[in-house]
Amino acid sequence: MDRPRQGTIGSPVQVRGIGLHSGRPEQMVLRPGPLDSGILFRRKARPETAIRARLAAVTGTAGRVTLGGSDGVQTVEHLLSAAWASGVSNMEVELDGAEVPGMDGSALPIFHALQEAGPRPQEGFRTVLRLHEPIWVAEGDAWAVALPATRFAVACVVTLETPGLEDLAATFDPARDRYEEVIAPARTWGYERDAERLRRQGMALGASLENTLVIGERGFLNRPRFPNEPARHKVLDVLGDLVLTGCDIQAYVITVRAGHRLHVALAKALCARGG
């Protein structure tokens, strides 16, 4: 199997949208990054401070991934997911505020922006992480496992806590499936009953029926893009969270009722025990 190449973008591109959690207009500029630099986040107010998208920078996983603490950046998972799917491993991300724009709640607008910027391969190679045995992490009835494999694929199961809605599952095999068609359009989702609590905590201030698939007491309040959209979005999140390993992972990853906290725990376990 050919070793995966590093990649960047050919030219800068600007993205604007509402922050899903901040509720404020957010703007970011994506710029090419040099070989081995990784994906670097900078806030416009403090350009001298760069936060690299790596596990060591993770300071929060509640409802989104935060890097660099209170002065860092948040909700990075959709951008990282789209970058992975575009073959972009080196890039500079300048943010006006603290949050990556939420756009329509999916990764598709960011994926399109990266395509507009022109993904370009670079001369260096990515580090490949291979497994010699299964790796498990669990918390309560939620778990995630990575199984040894010769290439990468993902399967996710979500349990919807609403009567009448069954468990949903989604798979993604990059050798077979087109990310921009089956994963990128899947939106973030949540429960109507949690909205006020989240807002009191300063979260989901920008969430609406335009950018979030909302689940009420009797089912979906707005039309899903796919019958299993919540599970597809979970795959989207897993792809973004695993970018934090800084490696090209050769494993079959399965998650059941997992969130960002377990995704990050699995990523840490992969780095500790993979080779």
3-state SS assignment for residue 198:
helix
Q: Are 248 and 57 in contact (CB under 8 A)?
A: no
Do residues 120 and 249 both lie within one domain?
A: no
- Flag whether pLDDT at 189 surpasses 80: yes
- Flag whether pLDDT at 9 surpasses 80: yes
Residue 1, pLDDT score = 56
Do residues 142 and 198 both lie within one domain?
A: yes
Do residues 121 and 177 both lie within one domain?
A: no
Mean pLDDT computed over every residue of the chain: 95
Structure confidence by residue, pLDDT tens digits, 150-168: 999 999 999 998 877 889 9
Residue 187 and residue 164: Cα distance in Å, rounded?
21
Confidence category of residue 273, pLDDT binned at 50, 70, 90:
confident
Percent of the chain with pLDDT over 90: 93
Do residues 132 and 263 both lie within one domain?
A: yes
What the block records as the tokens of 20 is 């899903």
Do residues 228 and 147 both lie within one domain?
A: yes
Do residues 88 and 132 both lie within one domain?
A: no
Do residues 96 and 177 both lie within one domain?
A: no
Average pLDDT rounded to a whole number, residues 20-44: 96
Structure confidence by residue, pLDDT tens digits, 42-55: 999 888 899 999 99
We report the CATH number of the domain holding residue 92 as 3.30.230.20
Point out the domain boundary residue: 79, 96, 125. 125
For residue 226, the enclosing domain spans 128-273
Do residues 78 and 185 both lie within one domain?
A: no
Confidence category of residue 65, pLDDT binned at 50, 70, 90:
very high
Rounded alpha-carbon distances, angstroms, from residue 242 to 76, 145, 223, 235, 254: 12, 13, 29, 11, 12
Burial of 255 (C-beta count, 10 Å sphere; 0-12/13-18/19+): buried
Length of the chain: 275
pTM of the model: 0.96
Residue 260 is among the residues annotated as catalytic for this protein? yes
Confidence category of residue 132, pLDDT binned at 50, 70, 90:
very high
Residue carrying the six token digits 């990784």: 38
We report the CATH number of the domain holding residue 243 as 3.30.1700.10
What the block records as the tokens of 156 is 């996710």
Q: For 99, which DSSP code?
A: B
Phi, psi of 18 (to 5 degrees): -80, 140
Closest C-alpha to 238, from 159, 181, 130, 158: 158
Do residues 80 and 191 both lie within one domain?
A: no
Which residue of the set 78, 233, 260, 263 is catalytic?
A: 260
Residue 274, pLDDT score = 67
Point out the domain boundary residue: 108, 125, 142. 125
Structure confidence by residue, pLDDT tens digits, 216-233: 998 999 999 999 999 999
Phi, psi of 55 (to 5 degrees): -60, -35
Residue carrying the six token digits 């089956």: 182
Into how many domains does the chain fold? 2
